[in-house]
Every structure is written in structure tokens, then in C-alpha cells.
A = this chain, B = another copy of it.
Amino acid sequence: MWSLEEVAKHNSQGSCWVIIKNNVYDVTDFLQEHPGGAKIILKYAGRDATSAYEPIHPPDALAKNLPPSKHLGPLSETAAQSVAREQQTRKKTKDELRVEQALSQRPPLVRILSLADMEEVARKVLSHKAEAYYASGADDQITLTENARAFSRFFFHPRVMRPVGKCDPSTTILGFKSSIPVFVSGAALAKLGHPLGEINIVKGAATTSIIQMVSSNASASPAEIIAAAESSQPLFFQLYKNTNDSVAEKRVREIEKLGYKAIFLTVDAVIPGNRENDAKSPWVVEDLERGSVKLYVEGEGPEDGDNVFGTAGGLVINDDRDMTWEKTIPWLRSLTKLPIVIKGIQCVEDAVLAAQAGVDGILLSNHGGRQLDYSLPPMEVLYQLRKQRPDVFDKLEVYIDGGVRRGTDVLKALCLGATAVGMGRAFLYAQSAYGEAGVVKCIRILEREIITAMRGLGAATVKDLKPEMAS
């Protein structure tokens, strides 16, 4: 039972305690191991860090990373009350006030007609930092932009006089039924946008019968997420392989045991991308009006040339940068019977290697344009794969993600042979704007757009979508 005075004494690199949800932790030894760096912890040394900790860590992060001896126990009741009072009476930052107002002015959900409407609302209700993290791409964001523009280079050749009165947009992914050929692609830190974070998504996916691929970097733990799912609801897991094989093995076994149905091994983000918009964005925006945020805020921003990788820097610090086809796939196969999908294939040659490696699927992805600028858009890679190596589509399932905004985008990918299309940011935005209901709405919009476009194309089922319909 600690008093605030006692905790406050440990406010330095030599002895650093922090309070998280009214419990006191000694993180002195952990400072150097913290993926996000020591500095961000030291900012809260000797005091309450809950509001900074929660949106970017799953609740079990402390338990996993800190030995029990460093769990120093709860605050005294007086201290806890004092923390709560301080939290309540704390003067809100301008950004917090702006977000509060934006939330109160959201249009009713029924007025949201497209994913663009949804994104518009979301970008208004997100904190400055959350928006920068969600929206940013690598370097000059060329790939981020081209991922979407790639779809606009394909036009339809619709067929008429075909019966489309009944139109069924459902499909299966790795044998699991999905109401539309769309799945949730792994996207981290959903709690930055909404207190319930990934839970909003898993519930919305349940309601609409689509499949969620859960990120290793989710702000809720894999266990929490699957606990929120319906019993029959399939979930996939996006694995960032730890550089330590035994840590990685433990993760894989945990995931399979929890009931996840497939593993998407992420190979397109072994290092952080150069996301300048994220790196430039301060965590606290004070004295600055939205829209006129200055580039440089006193006391914020990167402080040396090596620490410019923004939020992503911390997330991938322990990822294995030395995976190989020869070593990593057999290793993973030996650990699990789950289907294995390689997430992050970016050229035809690697798609062929993946087929040779015997994996169950590949997700053509450049990590949403967040890693290497000028990586070819997935839709272009899909087009080249269809043209150069159509045989690959017979050996494994092919998915793409990145840049999908409309039902027509989904259908273009399916025409060229994709089994389904992943979307990440769209769901982060939807849950940020309206929580679980936003996720459901997002899928309903896609479903309506997909059915409308299938009928316009003369396709009654996804099997009717053919390469000659889009070019």
C-alpha cells in the first residue's frame, strides 16, 4: 500500500517506479529493454502512467515483461483517490478538447454512405497522434497513394442479360465461410482510436460473419480478443516472429491453443518503415489548433538521428530480421498444424517461392505502404502474377490488402484471381468513429457495394468473376 509521496521519490533512471491502474511497478531494470525506449517511461517516473500506457499495450504486457518481484503492489486508498481526482481535474489539452467536440458532432451512423464518409468522421475524432500513426506511410507516401490508385487503372467489361436477381457474395477463406470476400487485415493499436479497440472489431466481425486477422501488436491480448468472439467465429493470427526462436515458439503454441485458425507470418515489416508523418507527430498537442500544427513542438519529436521511427519503432524491435524460406517455414510447420499464410509477398518471384515452400496462402501486401516507399502496389503484383504465373493460383490461396476503398476494388481483385481482400485502416477508422456499430456499418456498406457491382457486372456468385471482366 503505497503513498504518492513514496512513489514520487523513484523518479529517475537510478530508481524508476510508475503507477498503472493504481498498482506500483519498479521498471528501473526494464528501462533499457522497453521497445519504445527509456525516455518515454522516464517522463512518467514517480507518478501515474495509466493514460499513456493503456492505448498502446495489451493489459497483460506488464505481467509478461516484468518479474513478479517488481510488482510492488497497490496504492493506498488515499493515493488512488488522489490519482483519480487528479485525472478528473486535469486540464485537458487542446487536442483532447477538440476530440471531445468532434465526437459530440458525429453525424448519425445512418448518414454514413461510404467508407470515405467513415474515414472523414474518424480522422476528426482521432487524437493527433493516433491519426498520424494510423494514416502515415513510408517516406513520401507514394506507395500509400499508389496502393489505392492501382485499382483505378482497371476498368470493367460488364456482361448484360445474365440472371442476377439472386446474388450471393459469400466465399470461403482457408475453408472458413465469409459472408463477403473481405477480411480484417492485421492492424495494430486499435485502442488508440477507441477504448474497446480490437474488441469492437471482433464483435462486428461476428455480427456480419467475416473473419478477423488479429495483429501481434494488437492493444488487446490474443486471449482477450478470442474470449470476446462467438464460439464458432473463426479468427486468424498475424504473427510477427520474435528473433528468439523459443519466444516465437511459445507464441505460436499459445495462439494455436487459444483456438486461432490460421497463422499469417508477417515478412514485410521486420524493421520499422520511415514514417515521417508519425515520427513528426507529438504525443501531446497543446497550444496548437488542429490544422495548424507546427512541424516542431518544444520538447517533443525525435531527439536524435536514430530514434525517428515513430510508433512503429517500438513494435518491431524484437522481430526476426533473418528469416529464410529454408529455415523459417519448416520451423513453423513443425510447430503447428494450422494453415500458414505468408503476409507481405511483393513480387511474382516470391509468390512462386511461397508456392514451392508449400504454404497455404499468400497475402500480397506492402504493409499498407508503411514500410518501403515505391514498393509496387499489391493490385499490380496480383496483375503480374495472373499474367506471368497463373499456375500459382492453383497451388495456394492468394489475397491482397492495401488501398481498397470500394466494393468495386474488391471485385477487381477477385476478377484477377484473389480469393479475398484484406482491409486494415478501414476497420480502425470505423471503430474509432462509432465503435462496434461502426465496424458493422463498414461491412454492410461493403456488402451492398459488392452486391450492386456484382449485379452490374452480370455475376451472381464470386465464381462468375473472371479475368476478362477487369483490365
Q: Is the CB of A376 within 8 A of B156?
A: yes
A274 to B114, CA, bound (A): 10
A448 to B273, CA, bound (A): 11
Q: Identify which of B165, B303, B328 contacts A110 (C-beta below 8 A).
A: B303
A window 139-198: CB within 8 A of B? 139-140, 142, 146, 152, 154-165
**Size bracket of the A interface:** 35 or more
Q: Is the CB of B374 within 8 A of A321?
A: no
Let me know if A108 is at the binding interface, CB within 8 A. yes
A294 to B306, CA, bound (A): 43
Q: Is the CB of A456 within 8 A of B375?
A: yes
Chain B residues within an 8 Å CB radius of A372: 156, 158, 408, 452-453, 456-457
* Interface-facing stretch out of A28-36, A68-76, A95-103, A263-271: A263-271
Chain B residues within an 8 Å CB radius of A406: 139-140, 373
Main secondary structure of the interface of A (DSSP, over half): loop
A324 to B279, CA, bound (A): 52
Let me know if A219 is at the binding interface, CB within 8 A. no
* Known contacts A107-B295, A296-B111; A157 and B452 CB within 8 A of each other: no
A139 to B152, CA, bound (A): 12
Let me know if A444 is at the binding interface, CB within 8 A. yes
Looking at the assembled complex, report how far the CB atom of A110 sits from the nearest CB atom of chain B, in whole angstroms: 5
Let me know if A62 is at the binding interface, CB within 8 A. no
Looking at the assembled complex, report how far the CB atom of A449 sits from the nearest CB atom of chain B, in whole angstroms: 6
Let me know if A5 is at the binding interface, CB within 8 A. no
Q: Is the CB of A161 within 8 A of B375?
A: no
Q: Is the CB of B325 within 8 A of A161?
A: yes
Chain B residues within an 8 Å CB radius of A142: 152
Q: Identify which of B268, B296, B375, B452 contacts A273 (C-beta below 8 A).
A: B452
A103 to B33, CA, bound (A): 39
A445 to B375, CA, bound (A): 20
Looking at the assembled complex, report how far the CB atom of A327 sits from the nearest CB atom of chain B, in whole angstroms: 9
* A436-471 contact mask (Cβ, 8 Å, vs B): 1 or 0: 000001001100110011011100000000001000
Let me know if A322 is at the binding interface, CB within 8 A. yes
Q: Is the CB of A408 within 8 A of B159?
A: no
Let me know if A402 is at the binding interface, CB within 8 A. no
Q: Is the CB of B308 within 8 A of A159?
A: no
Chain B residues within an 8 Å CB radius of A456: 271, 273, 371-372, 375
Q: Identify which of B274, B322, B325, B412 contacts A452 (C-beta below 8 A).
A: B274
* Interface-facing stretch out of A47-55, A340-348, A390-398: A340-348
Chain B residues within an 8 Å CB radius of A163: 321-324
Chain B residues within an 8 Å CB radius of A412: 374
Let me know if A305 is at the binding interface, CB within 8 A. yes
Chain B residues within an 8 Å CB radius of A408: 139, 372-374
- Residue of A301, A347, A444, A449 ringed by the most chain B CB atoms within 10 A: A347
* A290-312 contact mask (Cβ, 8 Å, vs B): 1 or 0: 00000110000111111010000
* Known contacts A155-B374, A270-B455, A371-B456; A161 and B303 CB within 8 A of each other: no
Chain B residues within an 8 Å CB radius of A158: 268, 346-347, 366, 372, 375
Looking at the assembled complex, report how far the CB atom of A389 sits from the nearest CB atom of chain B, in whole angstroms: 14
Let me know if A276 is at the binding interface, CB within 8 A. yes
Q: Is the CB of B155 within 8 A of A375?
A: yes
A303 to B301, CA, bound (A): 44
Let me know if A349 is at the binding interface, CB within 8 A. yes
A–B Cβ pairs within 8 angstroms, 10 of them = A111-B302, A117-B295, A155-B375, A158-B268, A162-B324, A165-B243, A271-B455, A273-B452, A273-B456, A305-B448
* 12 other A-B residue contacts (CB within 8 Å) besides A139-B408, A161-B353, A373-B453: A108-B296, A110-B304, A113-B308, A155-B374, A158-B375, A163-B321, A164-B271, A271-B452, A305-B444, A372-B452, A372-B453, A375-B456
